[in-house]
Structure 1
Amino acid sequence: MARATIGDSEFDRDTAITPRPGEPGVFDTTLSAGWTIIRAVNGGYLLAVAARALAATLPHPDPVAVSAHYLTPTEPGPAVLRAEPVRTGRTLSTGTVRLLQPGADGTEIERLRVTATFGDLAALPDDVRTTATPPLLPPRDRCPGSRDAPGVDRIVPGSTEILDRLDLRLDPATAGWALGRPGGHGEMRGWLGLADGRDPDPLALLLAVDALPPTAFEMGLRGWVPTIELTVHVRARPAPGPLRVAITTRNLAGGFLEEDAEVWDSADRLVAQSRQLAQVLLG
């Protein structure tokens, strides 16, 4: 089967938006059930949809810093995005966008609110000075696919929809939870791509930071781990090829944990970083 290209992928179709005639900054979309976990739509997928609305509203093309608050669980189906510019500069612009869905009585329920700064990643200087290093992962063919893990749907019922759309291969050192042998460490690592072969771009990086199983699973916990707040820094346009994603948690307390993610591209560049606060709802 031919590899999908950017603009002609299931991910692109499922994040598409349609401007409303005569209503600047207002877009309609249909959120796909293919990106759900326990009937709730994945937070990284929602961030990519919101970023499309901002890219169509602001003069700069690429997300640079994105901060989202998840207010209520989002469901597959129709949604409206209301985007507004806040400030426009020469190299950066900032805006906000709200994602809303119709409630049972027809009134709009706000699901997600995002504030983001956009720029042009292609125009960034090449100078890199860093102490960060890519995660050490076994070769992709030695990492089990997420659908190969027999415990995934048992631990998170309804998780297989999104797994069908990802080429996710977990580091065996952080996949013991799927076999009933969690390592007890707040870590999750793996190779990541889209199942149809589409190469990553900045919008796909917004998905990538929230695409791996929660670190809570490797800590021996089961249940839903919904995102409360997620901030993503996009550092560069990724090179073609699979991504490497490493996520760590250092503190679970009061029913909440933080997850710090790094995303590296095939050229060994750190292309995205994120931190999210998530709630652990034990099953």
Structure 2
Amino acid sequence: MAAAHAGQTTQATIGDSEFDRDTAVTPREPGVYEAELSGGWTIAGAVNGGYLLALLGRALADTLPHADPFTISAHYLTASRPGPALIRTETVRTGRTLSTGQASLLQYDDEGNEVERIRVLASYGDLDGLPDDVRTAAEPPRMPPVEQCFGADDAPKGASPMGGFPIADRLMVKLDPSTLGWALGQPSGKGEMRAWFGLADGRDADPFSLLLAVDALPPTAFDLGIKGWVPTVELTVHVRCRPAPGPLRVAISTRNLAGGFLEEDAEVWDSADRLVAQSRQLARARLG
């Protein structure tokens, strides 16, 4: 499945992995948590939005009476940077099957002023308590086997935007060749991205790593011929069920680029062919 870190001999497990350590939060007082934003999850110096969402998700799981994120919406207000951060949470409502809370992540600027980076509103529940009844018209993405797809390690040096950034060393992302034309200077113009996804240390997916998965592929803007990174303005994720062990398949598409903004719709499928997460985000495309 995943390309392990150099020298690694055993597969990491849920609760004992780099991802778990880097998304850990430490309670300071009720509703207030300390965190350390790891530089290992950055792209061109920017902390990945999905990683940040997972970190905030853990703080809310500790605050609320339910443990699993069902839906979480984040507005990215200012760019986060590696280093210390403070998370403030608030319980909005608690019920028998769902509880709702909000959280803000804050850092300090160079003058020592408190700056809010992200604000989220989320509803939590118990994924294991959901009924098994599934009625869906959705189908898993058709993709070649993982060994026929391509990741940062397969590209010539400097040819892949995923390569050379710290986050690439922590992920197993193998892109469907049919969505890889942009890396060769031949974007299809369809606005599609599909890949096999996992954590590089072999840790299986859980609801919190799904929050990372929806925002870990190269932007669909690349397939539209737009260069440069695409900052997220707002991201909403729906976690539909607890993923089965094994690699995930992630399919992302955009249908409308207008006024310098585009939407990205993502689906995440597990090894049991279940749709385990969906998301939509609004992102800014830096044109020209």
Q: Which category describes the TM-score, using the shorter chain as reference length? A: over 0.9
Aligned to 1:101: 107
Contact 1:65–1:232, Cα closer than 8 Å, also in 2? yes
Specify which of 271, 279, 282 is matched with residue 274 of structure 1.
Answer: 279
Instruction: Report whether the alignment pairs 1:12 with 2:17.
Output: no
Specify which of 93, 96, 101 is matched with residue 90 of structure 1.
Answer: 96
Instruction: Report whether the alignment pairs 1:147 with 2:133.
Output: no
Distance 2:173 2:115 in 1: 33
Specify which of 66, 70, 80 is matched with residue 72 of structure 2.
Answer: 66
Distance 1:83 1:207, change over 3 A: same
Distance 1:71 1:155, change over 3 A: farther
Aligned to 1:178: 183
CA-to-partner distance for each residue in 1:104-157, whole Å, 9 max, x for gaps?
121210000000000000000000000000000000000011332347x56748
Distance 2:61 2:73 in 1: 15
CA-to-partner distance for each residue in 1:23-52, whole Å, 9 max, x for gaps?
211000100011111111000000000000
Contact 2:61–2:67, Cα closer than 8 Å, also in 1? yes
| Worse overlay, 63-72 or 153-162 | 153-162
Distance 1:57 1:215 in 2: 35
Task: State the secondary structure of the residue aligned to 1:135.
Answer: coil
Distance 2:228 2:287 in 1: 4
Instruction: Report whether the alignment pairs 1:195 with 2:206.
Output: no
Aligned to 1:132: 138
Contact 2:162–2:168, Cα closer than 8 Å, also in 1? no
TM-score by length of 2: 0.94
**Structure 1: tracts of 5 or more residues without a match:** none
Q: How many residues align?
A: 280
Task: State the secondary structure of the residue aligned to 2:19.
Answer: helix
Distance 1:107 1:183 in 2: 45
Report the alpha carbon displacement of residue 177 of structure 1 after superposing the two structures with TM.
1.0
**Structure 2: tracts of 5 or more residues without a match:** 1-8
Q: Which AA in structure 2 matches 1:203?
A: F
Correspondence 1:204-215 to 2 at 5 A: 204-215=209-220
Report the alpha carbon displacement of residue 208 of structure 1 after superposing the two structures with TM.
0.3
Distance 1:190 1:54 in 2: 29
TM-score by length of 1: 0.96
- The list of structure 1 runs, each at least 4 consecutive aligned residues, that deviate by more than 4 angstroms after superposition, is 153-159
Specify which of 227, 235, 250 is matched with residue 222 of structure 1.
Answer: 227
CA-to-partner distance for each residue in 1:180-230, whole Å, 9 max, x for gaps?
221111000010000000000000000000010000101111012000000
Task: State the secondary structure of the residue aligned to 2:55.
Answer: helix
Distance 1:159 1:221, change over 3 A: farther
Distance 2:33 2:164 in 1: 28
Task: State the secondary structure of the residue aligned to 1:56.
Answer: helix
